Amino acid sequence: MRAVCEDYTSAPITEQERVMVEYVVKLSRDATEVSPQDHQRLRAVGFDDRAILQITLIAAWFNYINRVADALGVGREDCHEACV
């Protein structure tokens, strides 16, 4: 987990996991940049449409709930605990 937090591009994860993380990072930074090619890349490493939907929904939900928590100041004192 620490390696993923520090630099997922060099973390010891599978190609499938790396493609998923790259997709989630792209979705989180600017969802308007996600394209059908990103979905095709996920399919190429073994994710079906249902899995792609689940990955998208979970990532979007975490982005949403984290923004709500940030706006309300929830958990700021503990925000670095997960990756420290």
Collapse the DSSP code of 46 into the 3-class scheme (helix H, G, I; strand E, B; otherwise coil) and give the result: coil
Place of tokens 């939900």: 61
pTM as predicted: 0.80
Domains contained in the chain, CATH given: 2-83 (1.20.1290.10)
> For residues 41 and 37, what is the distance between their CA atoms, to the nearest angstrom?
6
DSSP 34: -
Collapse the DSSP code of 82 into the 3-class scheme (helix H, G, I; strand E, B; otherwise coil) and give the result: helix
> Percent of the chain beyond pLDDT 90?
69
Judged on CB neighbours under 10 Å (0-12, 13-18, 19+), 23 is buried
Provide the pLDDT confidence category of residue 77 given band limits of 50, 70 and 90.
low
